[in-house]
Amino acid sequence: MEILQRRSTTAQVWGAAEEFIRLFHRETPGAGDPRTRLAAVRAELAESGTYRHTPQELVHGARVAWRNSNRCIGRLYWNSLRVRDRRGLTDSDAIAAECFEHLREATNGGRVRPTITVFAPDTPQSPGPLIWSEQLVRYAGYGDHHSVTVGDARNAPLTEALLRLGWPGGAGTPFDLLPLVVQGVDDKPRWFDTPADAVLEVPIRHPDGDDGDGDGWADWGLRWHAVPAISNMCLEIGGVHYPAAPFNGWYMGTEIGARNLADADRYNLLPAVGRRLGLDTSSDRSLWKDRALVELNRAVLHSFDRAEVTIADHHTESRRFLTHLEREERRGRDVGADWSWIVPPISGSATPVFHRTYEDRQVSPAYVHHPGAQDRAQGRDLV
Ligand code: ARG
């Protein structure tokens, strides 16, 4: 099934709707023959130019969209996604409040639960609401390329736009929570302070120095948030677009240890880790970066474990992904995947997902990036 663009004709929406309704009935035990439902959808479409998913269709659609996410290694548990149906909400303040409640429920005291909250869809009358922030939890980045950035350099443009808009700024630490930026229907984007009680964070320590903290990792003050919740992708199900539908899984350690904290255009911590470990950072051939990466990743996994917060390691998650492939094959379904995203950013060849190829076909239901999502995430034209 092809992914349908926003602003499609009724005929295109009908084509996508028909395929989805058939898929839903095929995959849902007891759903029976799709003919009655198809006739109802067809009539609703002719009348209003759109149609409403039943709660069961919404749940299955959101789960299958996860199943179809070719960049995600964590899809084994696609069928257990928790779906919070908030389709009645169109205003930014109500949406922000539900996003924060999403975080609390998904965090679940550390036993992270994959969760999605679905807000109002696009309709022929009006586009749906939008969340500009790329994730529900983001750390501020102060400064730009002319000066040293404090915090997450990725979020420096959004931080600057928010400051111009009147956000007073945080304490100036490397891990200040940014407000959430939400644009309600028929409204301009607004920012909402992230309540501290909605965000669980994990202090990062290294296992070798943890008792008594001989090596000073605790004083270093590194931390990361427990729940990755993508908030600027559009959920497309059967020709209906839900532009505000934040969703989360749990972290795989390498996302934090080999990317967020390590990338040169993020926290760029490898030189500091290397020095802390007493490595020879004067030559690439000492492999100090590689060694620093491994130790930083050990620290991330150790710290989440110590805090009893769910996190996967890349070896386990790779094996689970192969289990997922087998399971889906047994059910007669093809699994699309994007090798360059599935293979972990460290030790790729030590995981089984490296040693094979995948087809990267995009099918619907799906989570898609709409044009402009990147610009909005950077706060472009926010003021
Ligand atoms: N890589 C992103 C981050 O580090 C999160 C992407 C989604 N990850 C996930 N485990 N569901 O914040």
Q: List, for residues 157-183, the tens digit of each pLDDT value.
A: 999 999 999 999 999 999 999 999 999
Predicted confidence at residue 210, as pLDDT, reads 66
Q: Where are the domains of the chain?
A: 10-263+310-377
Question: What is the per-residue pLDDT for 211?
Answer: 60
Q: Among residues of the chain, what percentage have pLDDT more than 90?
A: 93
Mutate to test the pocket of ligand 1, among 251, 254, 300 (most ligand atoms within 8 A of CB): 251
Q: How far is the CA of 272 from the centre of ligand 1 (A)?
A: 24
Question: How far apart are the C-alpha atoms of 219 and 129, rounded to whole Å?
Answer: 42
Instruction: Find out whether the beta carbon of 252 lies less than 6 Å from any atom of ligand 1.
Output: yes
Ligand 1 lined by 152 (C-beta under 6 Å): no
If one residue of 255, 297, 369 were mutated to test the ligand 1 pocket, choosing by the most ligand atoms within 8 A of its CB, it would be 255
Taking the centre of ligand 1 as the mean of its atom positions, its distance from the CA of residue 130, in whole angstroms, is 20
Quick: pLDDT tens for 23-74.
Answer: 999 999 999 899 999 999 999 999 999 999 999 999 999 999 999 999 999 9
Report how far ligand 1's centroid is from the alpha carbon of 228 (Å): 5
Q: What are 194-234's pLDDT values in tens digits?
A: 999 999 999 999 999 766 555 789 999 999 999 999 999 99
Whether the CB of 260 sits within 6 Å of ligand 1:
yes
Q: What is the pLDDT of residues 326-349, one digit of tens each?
A: 999 999 999 999 999 999 999 999
Q: Where are the beta strands (DSSP E) in 300-339?
A: 311-312
CATH fold of 10-263+310-377 reads Nitric Oxide Synthase; Chain A, domain 1 (3.90.340)
Residue 255, ligand 1, Cβ within 6 A: yes
Which pLDDT score, from 0 to 100, does residue 3 have? 83
Find the 50 Cα to ligand 1 centroid distance in Å.
32
**pLDDT tens, position by position, 249-292:** 999 999 999 999 999 999 999 999 999 999 999 999 999 999 99
Report the C-alpha gap between 3 and 7 in whole angstroms. Answer: 12
Residue 228 CB less than 6 A away from ligand 1: yes
Cβ atoms of 90 and 129 closer than 8 Å: yes
Mean pLDDT throughout 294-314?
Answer: 98
Q: Is 189 helix (H, G, I), strand (E, B) or coil?
A: strand
Ligand 1 centroid distance, CA of 10 (Å): 35
Beta bridge partners of residue 223, listed in sequence order: 203
CA distance 231 to 138: 11
The mean predicted confidence, pLDDT, of the chain is 96
**Which residue matches tokens 């303040």?**
93
Pocket lining: 69 vs ligand 1, CB cutoff 6 Å = no
Q: Are 183 and 90 in contact (CB under 8 A)?
A: no
How far, in Å, CA of 247 to CA of 170, rounded?
A: 26
Q: Is the confidence at residue 145, as pLDDT, over 70?
A: no
Instruction: Give me the residue label for tokens 């000492």.
Output: 286
What is the Å distance from ligand 1's center to 139 Cα? 14
Question: Which atom belonging to ligand 1 lies closest to the Cα atom of 135?
Answer: 12
Q: Which residue has the CA at smallest separation from atom 7 of ligand 1?
A: 228
CA distances from 32 to 19, 20, 62, 332 (A): 15, 14, 20, 20
Q: Is-catalytic flag, 99?
A: no
Our answer to whether residue 250 is catalytic in this structure is: yes
The answer, yes or no, to whether residue 8 has pLDDT greater than 90, is no
Q: What is the value of pTM for the model shown?
A: 0.97
Catalytic site residue from 37, 63, 75, 82: 75
CB contact at 8 A, 238 and 245: no
User: Ligand 1: does its nearest atom lie under 6 Å from the Cβ of 311?
Assistant: no
Does the pLDDT value for residue 146 go beyond 70?
no
For residue 210, the 8-state DSSP code is -
Question: How is residue 1 written in tokens?
Answer: 């099934």
Catalytic one among 250, 266, 288, 317?
A: 250
Q: Residue 81: pLDDT above 60?
A: yes
Task: Evaluate whether 383 touches 164 at the Cβ level (below 8 Å).
Answer: yes
Rounded Cα distance between 298 and 344, Å, is: 15
Work out which ligand 1 atom sits closest to the CA atom of 251: 10
For ligand 1, the distance from its centroid to the CA atom of residue 341, given in whole angstroms, is 11
Q: Is the CB of 249 under 6 A from ligand 1?
A: yes
CB of 18 sitting under 6 A from ligand 1: no
